[in-house]
Amino acid sequence: MAGLVYYSSASGNTRRFVERLGRAAVRIPVSPADPMPPMPGRYVLICPTYADGEGRGAVPKQVIRWLNDPERRAGLCGVIAAGNRNFGPTYALSGRVIADKCNVPLLYSFELAGTSTDIARVTAGLDQIRDQTCSTPRPMTA
Amino acid sequence: MKDLATPRTPRAINWNRIQDPKDLEVWNRLTANFWVPEKVPLSNDVQSWATLTEAEQRLTIRVFTGLTLLDTIQAGVGAPSMMADAATPHEEAVLCNIAFMEAVHARSYSSIFSTLCSTAEVDEAFRWSEENPHLQAKARAILETYAPGADPLKRKIASVFLESFLFYSGFYLPMHWSSRAKLTNTADLIRLIIRDEAIHGYYIGLKFQRGLERETEARREELKEFAFSLMFELYGIEAQYAEELYDGIGLAEEVKAFLHYNANKALMNLGYEPLFPPEACEVSPAILAALSPDSENHDFFSGSGSSYVIGTAVATEDEDWDF
Ligand SMILES: Cc1cc2nc3c(=O)[nH]c(=O)nc-3n(C[C@H](O)[C@H](O)[C@H](O)COP(=O)(O)O)c2cc1C
Ligand SMILES: [Fe+2]
Ligand SMILES: [Fe+2]
């Protein structure tokens, strides 16, 4: 069964989304001074987008720190991106960046703290992952 | 006045001593986003404008006049009124930036007008904006909460509703034209405004949440009640405004779905749960695509028949991973 790791800044949208999912989840700390929590085995990452005007820096620095560790990167089995569609072409861009870099699927994207539809879809999707390959890693055959 | 008895030392703002890192983050994004309407080639829309019927043209001018009114209020009253409530000097500076950009937004509608329309048509629309009961009602409802001496947190609630909800009955129309390949340069300009408003709504909502942390349970309850009842009041006005404007071209129901969707987002900016159920928020995919062009929608989970295998991450050697 895949674990859940997420990042959420002071605005707390992603945190509220994860709380409504009602599953065990590990939070990447906001402050770089705080230690990184242990990795919950194979996991799905939920990550908001904070790009500049050109789309640079879409992935929050603390998430980059988390992924900079090869072991934690190897545990990643998919990414769910958050954002706000009103940012235009960079909507939920962090998910695309992470998916490309880590060669994992971009599973889903949602806006702000998500709607009940988002919660239902992500819940169903995460249950499905439990039955799939996440617990028995195998190489990509896209 | 609070400072008469013990005058405070006037303090210079020090951006190298930050109390709230979000102030700097948002300042950086807002200044990077800076734009002026002269940078958008609006005149390329002259031909497209001519393909609209007279009624569609009048509707568009009126909608933009309504948007101009909201930006005028936020530039002249809304953002300045929140400066006095700022929790940090940097918040005050961010509000200066917001106030100025609202003035740019208000100014940019006049650039669209002078490029596409006749003076008489525009004058008629400005007269209309002063006489339209719904437009006037929403402007007054917001201005009331901005009044001197008003509750600083209620001011922020009203402000987030203006930034993240009230604009959208208007923004709908240029997104609709853009989805039909009409007025595409004007739509580019509107998208710049929409992006700015997203950060404004985010930031004022964040400051509201930070303020809430310092309040008692009873006060939090009071503020939540105020927020939802103000939303009901504004929604009632907006629904009538939308009907009056959009019934003629058969879009009123679609616009209302868009209003519900945005009302939920405004509430989320304040940290509250959505109000309208998903079935009331089904915005047409063409409008969603017009809002965020080039960003496909991702739903790998329910993508039926997808044969994509969830794979392992590729090992990357470099220590400092550059995203
Ligand atoms: C400075 C700034 C830049 C942002 N840039 C983007 C962006 O490029 N694309 C996007 O989809 N959302 C963007 N957002 C919106 C956030 O991703 C969104 O509000 C998210 O819900 C924040 O999650 P959090 O509250 O858990 O930190 C930005 C927000 C801020 C404040
Ligand atoms: Fe504005
Ligand atoms: Fe604004």
One-letter-per-residue 3-state SS of B95-114: HHHHHHHHHHHHHHHHHHHH
User: What's the Rg (C-alpha) of chain A?
Assistant: 14
Q: What are the backbone angles phi and psi of residue A138, rounded to the nearest 5°? A: -140, 155
> Residue B153's pLDDT is what?
98
Q: What is the pLDDT of residue B286?
A: 96
* C-beta A112 within 6 A of ligand 1: yes
**C-beta A16 within 6 A of ligand 1:** no
Residue A136 included in any domain:
no
In a domain, A135, yes or no: no
Q: What is the pLDDT of residue B47?
A: 97
Query: Ligand 1 pocket, A94 CB below 6 A?
Result: no
Q: What stretch of H or E contains A83?
A: strand A76-83
Distance CA B196, CA B103 (A): 12
- Output the pLDDT for position B302: 66
Mutating which of B268, B270, B272, B307 best tests the A interface, going by the most A Cβ atoms within 10 A? B268
* The total number of structural domains that make up chain A: 1
Give the model's confidence band at A55: pLDDT under 50 very low, under 70 low, under 90 confident, else very high: confident
Is A17 within a domain? yes
B66 vs A127: CA distance, rounded Å? 47
* A69-113 tens-digit pLDDT: 999 999 999 999 999 999 999 999 999 999 999 999 999 999 999
Is B260 marked within a binding site? Answer: no
Note the Cα A132 to chain centre separation in Å. 18
What CATH number should be reported for the domain holding residue A19? Answer: 3.40.50.360
Domain boundaries, position A87: 3-130
Q: Is residue A46 part of a domain?
A: yes
Ligand 1 near A84 CB (within 6 A): yes
Q: In this structure, which amino acid lies at residue B154?
A: K
Q: Which atom of ligand 1 is nearest to the CA of B206?
A: 25
Q: Is residue A138 part of a domain?
A: no
> Best substitution site from B22, B199, B291 to test ligand 1's pocket, by max atoms within 8 Å of Cβ?
B199
Ligand 2 center–CA B302 separation, angstroms? 37
What is the CA(A10)–ligand 1 centre distance, in A?
A: 11
The one-letter code for the residue type at A63 is V
Q: Domain for residue A120, yes or no? A: yes
Q: Would you give per-residue pLDDT tens digits along chain B (323 residues)?
A: 455 567 789 999 999 999 999 999 999 999 999 999 999 999 999 999 999 999 999 999 999 999 999 999 999 999 999 999 999 999 999 999 999 999 999 999 999 999 999 999 999 999 999 999 999 999 999 999 999 999 999 999 999 999 999 999 999 999 999 999 999 999 999 999 999 999 999 999 999 999 999 999 999 999 999 999 999 999 999 999 999 999 999 999 999 999 999 999 999 999 999 999 999 999 999 999 999 987 766 677 765 333 343 444 444 444 445 66
Q: Counting atoms of ligand 1 from 1, which one is nearest the CA of A49?
A: 17
ipTM: 0.92
User: What is the distance between the alpha carbons of residues B153 and B215, in angstroms, rounded to a whole number?
Assistant: 10
B197 a known binding residue?
yes
In three state form, how does the secondary structure of A28-56 look?
ECCCCCCCCCCCCCCEEEEEECCCCCCCC
Q: Could you tell me the two tokens for B125? A: 């629309």
B71 labelled as ligand-binding? yes
Q: Kindly give, in sequence order, each residue whose CB lies less than 8 Å from that of residue B168, ignoring residues fewer than 6 positions away.
A: B258, B259, B262
For residue B196, say whether it is annotated as part of any ligand binding site. Answer: no
Q: Which residue of B has its CA nearest to A127?
A: B301
Structure confidence at residue B5 (pLDDT) = 64
Q: Is any atom of ligand 1 closer than 6 Å to the C-beta of B27?
A: no
Residue B304's pLDDT is what? Answer: 37
Q: Which residues of B touch A74 (CB under 8 A)?
A: 312-313, 315
Would the pTM count as exceeding 0.90?
yes
pLDDT number for residue A129: 82
A80 phi, psi to nearest 5 deg:
-115, 125
Instruction: Return the residue matching tokens 């309040």.
Output: B215
Give domain status of residue A52, yes or no: yes
Cβ contacts from A onto B, under 8 A:
157
Residues of B in contact with A65 (CB under 8 A): none
Give residue A13 CA to ligand 2 midpoint distance, Å: 23
- Which pLDDT score, from 0 to 100, does residue A138 have? 42
The answer to whether residue A141 sits within a structural domain is no
**Is the alpha carbon torsion for A98, A99, A100, A104 positive or negative?**
positive
